[in-house]
Homo-oligomer: A and B are copies of this chain.
Amino acid sequence: MDDGEASGGEASGKRTRSKSKPSMFDVAVRAGVSAQTVSRVSMGATNVRPATRDKVLAAMSELGYSPNSAARALRYGTFQTIGVITHKFSRTGESRTVEAIVEAARSAQYTVTLVDVESPVSTEVSDAVTRLSNQSIDGLVIIRAESVTPAMLSIPAGLPVVVSDSRFVGHHPAVGADQLEGSRRAVEHLLGLGHRTVHHVAGPDSSGPSQLRIDGWRAALDQAERPAPPIFRGDWTGRSGYEAGKHIARDTDATAVFCANDETAIGVMHALHEAGRRIPADVSVAGFDDIALAADVWPPLTTVRQDFAQIGERLLELLLRQIRNGERLEDVHETVPVELVVRESTAPPAS
């Protein structure tokens, strides 16, 4: 047995760390070649004789060798890895964006490391950036760093960054759905059905997307010269929609509600049902996002569809252009179109 004799004499001194994973050198000894022949095989180089290659391959699988990417990364200066910072990503929009990023990254031969911050405050995000850049990443995607400004973050110089839906626009390239237009279209749809005005249950005060949706709602009302009723503040959750909905249910003038997202809209419908108000006969409700369940709640929810997959793809492409070509894209701000999906939760007012 060659491995026996190889590790028998002085090599056994080195082989002592039998616990750790085999290195290229181990494979080389086993196959009776030199270390960089193993390297050549590992990298799929052409100039190695088939017989040699087979020997090496055999040694690899016998030893269960897999290349140490730390060393490889050290050599190459790249980790083939991008970092994603997100906030509460079990929310639908976030997780679908992340999913798209992961998929796009995979087809570009990158992996994704994920950090989920408790809340999108500066210290949290800044912490996450530090941790992430200590773990080696080639680029960074920040999703909805809503209440954070770039100055707050200690982003290492030269680290490519893209952001989604945040206030970084102008400092880092950004991609986001056309939220203004989406809101406007939802409200116009409701006004077009004959509603005198449209109430709004908004997202949290600190959120950029929330503000955009408010702006779109207000713009549509202004354009139609309708009064803008006071805003209900929510926090994206169904629960907050439910609370707002209880007030709306009491207000018999309210015949149409546009909600900052689908969860909130579903919460509003919950309160309306509970109060015995019919949807859409008494009150029309529209949401935003088009989550998977929007089509299956009762009644099926009219909403604005965001193309999360496309957002994820665009984010990754902008990031890769920075990483691979060194392009500077600070001023780029892409907007991906949205689509109004009319279902049964909206209808002309009964009166």
| Inter-subunit contact A296/B90 (CB<8 Å) | no
| Inter-subunit contact B113/A81 (CB<8 Å) | yes
| Inter-subunit contact A238/B292 (CB<8 Å) | yes
A113 contact from B67, B98, B111, Cβ within 8 A: B111
Q: A64-B156, A113-B112 are in contact. Are A300 and B270 (CB under 8 A)?
A: yes
A21-B156, A74-B74, A237-B292 are known contacts; what are 8 more A-B pairs with Cβ within 8 Å?
A69-B136, A79-B135, A90-B95, A90-B98, A106-B116, A269-B296, A293-B297, A298-B298
Chain A: residues with Cβ within 8 Å of the partner, total of: 62
- Distance in angstroms from A121 CB to nearest chain B CB is 16
- Distance in angstroms from A164 CB to nearest chain B CB is 15
Interface positions of A from 278 to 321, Cβ below 8 Å from B: 292-293, 295-300
| Inter-subunit contact A269/B292 (CB<8 Å) | no
| Inter-subunit contact B298/A273 (CB<8 Å) | yes
Interface positions of A from 258 to 279, Cβ below 8 Å from B: 263, 266-267, 269-270, 273
| Alpha-carbon gap, A115 to B132, bound state (A) | 17
| Alpha-carbon gap, A287 to B326, bound state (A) | 50
| Inter-subunit contact B73/A238 (CB<8 Å) | no
A241 on interface, CB distance cutoff 8 Å: yes
| Inter-subunit contact A297/B298 (CB<8 Å) | yes
| Inter-subunit contact B296/A267 (CB<8 Å) | yes
Query: Which residues of the other chain, B, contact A73 by a CB distance below 8 angstroms?
Result: 70, 73, 136
